[in-house]
Structure 1
Amino acid sequence: MHIFINQCKIEFLRMFRNPYYIFWSLLMPIVFYIIFTKVVNTGAADQGVWNAHFLMSVAAFSVMGSAIMTLGIRMVQERSEGWTNFIKVTPLSGTVYFAAKMLGQTVVHVFSIVVIFVAGVLLNGVTLTAYEWIMSGLWILLGSLPFLGLGVLVGTMKRVDTAAGVSNLIYMGLAITGGMWMPMEVLPKVIQNIGAWLPAFNYGNGAWEIIRGQAPEFRNIAILAAYLILFMVISTYIRRKQEAV
């Protein structure tokens, strides 16, 4: 337990000292929030509802990107530098190493959610009930698990530049097809049909439902759970093949 706690502390410090994380997970989503709620005229019938809706979108966008890119790229970098091989000859087990990474990433996600929610209140005066704040935050946190699984899958790649390129492509593709930047209703029908089966839309839709006084749809939960299992099964299979070589 002492080793696990120390490793968690190390992961926290590494992530908060990373300017890449600060830009992609905090600065860029807040900039998008300002642009799409204060600069661009979206023609929303109720600006207050749109401000709350898009706040959930950028919070989900932030956490999704952190899970896919920050975690995955860092894992590839550590393996390419021989760090994971070095760990094998230390008292730090592989289980503790990955558990600390996952917990560290989760704590970072909590921090991101709080910062973005506060930004929504300060910039646009977003008002939700305590229940809606807490439940939407918990949904965004727990719903990020499939994207952590996707980050672990990206982490099985051999080259950092490949992982960075692929994760960026996946991240932006999911954001567009998931309605993170604009409502799904205004997107082409083909994108709506595809996005409905992808994890990003089901992730965002859960939060959108909560702030409208509803519960996340069962379909949202089932699709996210299916993607989590799929990503973890594939990444486990690839990692075992890599270790067997």
Structure 2
Amino acid sequence: MTNTLSAPGTSYVRSAFASRALIKLEITRALRNRKFLFFSVIYPSILFLIVAGSQDSGSRVDGTGLSVPAFMMVSMASFGALTAVLMGNSERIAKERESGWVRQLRLTSLPGRGYVLAKTASAAVVSLPSIIVVFAVGALVKDVRLDAWQWLALTGAIWAGSLCFAALGVAIGYLASGDAVRPITMIIYFGLSILGGLWMPTTTFPQWLQDISSWLPTHAYAALGRAIELGDAPHAKDVVLLVAYFLLFAGGAAWLYRKDTLKA
């Protein structure tokens, strides 16, 4: 008896190999983009120091139980991860569609899910340093003190939560053209950041705006980290909201990918 792979098995192996190769390529490209690394890794830390200002652990954010540095540390870590996964994915995908790179990939054994996975994985790799750098600045410069389990849980929660926005970035990349993708992404990026409470506490908003903000994915995203800082488990509503938004964005990205494939 010969030990050969069936045709479906061979196809699966080829698809897996192509997916791994593209993931490696995407990660390498992301890490070589110095401008992108600055805005996704260094910029959030600078913003954190500016926004936190001279505030110390004795200053509190009303209605949260957290100090200003601790509150803003989670906000800026979330903002940095959002920058890495949303801004990077959307513009790169739109440009690759126009350049014909995506069309060339469709001629290979790479499946559509492999392309989306590669984009999500590369964005996640870049988002992790942005989170760690903000945390390091918070601990070393602003004297934020947490238990070891809290640092680990914070990193894992914010990193995992960023996948929701990575899926949104893929969807925008297939929705917009190369010329339109940047303004569309910037509007969504700043809108979600500000209204979701990443730049300022939502308690400063009018009540009607607070009600809207509480249902945004960025609000739920930052709430994960703030719950952990208080020593609590993330609220079920925030987890469910993020999962629901992830399924919505990922489903939209898959539908737009198939629609783009039919046009090619």
Length-normalised TM-score, structure 1: 0.91
What residue number does 2:224 align with? 206
Alignment partner of 1:10 out of 25, 30, 40: 25
Identity over aligned residues, as a percent? 31
What residue number does 1:72 align with? 90
Alignment partner of 1:59 out of 47, 69, 77: 77
CA contact (8 A) 1:68 1:151 kept: yes
> Per-residue deviation at 1:39?
5.1
Q: Distance in 2 between matches of 1:99 and 1:88?
A: 15
Higher-Rg member (1/2): 2
Q: Deviations over 1:123-152 (max 9, x none)?
A: 212211111101111110111122112111
What residue number does 1:169 align with? 187
Alignment partner of 1:31 out of 42, 46, 56: 46
- Does residue 109 of structure 1 match 2:127? yes
- Does residue 127 of structure 1 match 2:145? yes
> Per-residue deviation at 1:91?
4.3
CA contact (8 A) 1:203 1:220 kept: yes
> Per-residue deviation at 1:70?
0.6
User: Which 5+ residue runs of structure 2 have no aligned equivalent?
Assistant: 1-15
Report the number of matched residues: 244
Q: Distance in 1 between matches of 2:147 and 2:38?
A: 29
Alignment partner of 2:169 out of 112, 135, 151: 151
Superposed structure 1 runs of 4+ greater than 6 Å apart: none
CA contact (8 A) 2:85 2:123 kept: yes
Query: One-letter code of the match for 1:17?
Result: R
Query: One-letter code of the match for 1:172?
Result: F
Query: One-letter code of the match for 1:12?
Result: I
> Per-residue deviation at 1:190?
2.3
Query: One-letter code of the match for 1:25?
Result: S
CA contact (8 A) 1:132 1:211 kept: yes
Q: Distance in 1 between matches of 2:161 and 2:176?
A: 27
Length-normalised TM-score, structure 2: 0.85
